[in-house]
Amino acid sequence: MTFKAAAIQMCSGVDPVKNAADMARLVREAAAKGAVYVQTPEMTGAVQKDRAGLRAVLRDEADDVIVKTAAELAQELGIHVHVGSTAIALDDGKIANRGFLFGPDGKLLSRYDKIHMFDVDLDNGESWRESAVYRPGSEARIVSLPFAELGFSICYDVRFPQLFRAQAVAGAEVMTVPAAFTRQTGEAHWEILLRARAIENGMFVIAAAQAGRHEDGRETFGHSMIIDPWGVILASAGGTGEAVLIAEIDIAAVKSAHDKIPNLKNAREFSLERIATPAAGGVAA
């Protein structure tokens, strides 16, 4: 009922080959510390805001260096390796923001394409339009591992509680939130969103993040975390640089949280009615 999980914090650059080497070093460190499940951040392969630069290093899934390296690491170390996400070239000219989970034999267990696109306009002129480049996913996934029922999300997905609730109701015990949060949004919301998703669903949350100032000039928030079903932070990292977080995951804590506060079981269907009121100075009928 227990296992060691790791969240790998990175500061990926624009070169996928270098990033793959950094990932391999950190995954090996996590495995040496006893982790049997290791998660890397969103965009492990390249953090590159220049579209032409990103397309120049893009490969399809079969030829992607991050995918190949992760599969080899999983088999070599006999562990589960979860690439939080990396950019994958698609046939229609779009890109998938895609996560991969490999089993201890190196075989692919699941893919997950980020569902919710980060199309936002922030303060100080910061603006992002993921939908202009990436093709959104449309399918949530739960994978039954020997030690837990694992659910998937990526970064901006954390702001959509219905995705987490659907997976919790379907039996997910651990939710994954690999991310590359901006510093601005991370400072405001990162920890509270992760802890809220854990608490409201009574599940573990493992969130490996990008951290620091990247080669392309972007700055990400970091603070990778592993959180238990009661909202307790079991492990956390700082806001810059690499880190390997390790936490002991006791799946019995999921049932304990659900027994204490059975909100999944107590949820009820309801209708919504909008009540129109008279305009100011008007007379009610």
Query: Is 265 in the active site?
Result: no
- The catalytic position among 4, 11, 114, 173 is 114
State the catalytic residue, choosing from 42, 130, 149, 173: 42
| Catalytic-labelled residue, pool 4, 130, 149, 155 | 155
Most distant CA atoms of the chain, gap in Å: 77
| Measured distance CA(155)–CA(115) in Å, rounded | 10
Q: Is 230 exposed, middle or buried (0-12, 13-18, 19+ CB in 10 A)?
A: middle
Between CA 177 and CA 191 the distance in angstroms is 12
Residue 267: which of 160, 162, 196, 143 has the closest Cα? 162
State the DSSP code for 118. -
Contact assessment for residue 59 and residue 46, using Cβ atoms and an 8 Å cutoff: no
Spatial distance between the Cα atoms of 128 and 47, rounded to a whole number of angstroms: 14
Angle, helices 16-32 vs 65-77, to 10°: value is 20
Residue 11 is a catalytic residue: no
42 is catalytic: yes
Residues with catalytic function: 42, 114, 155
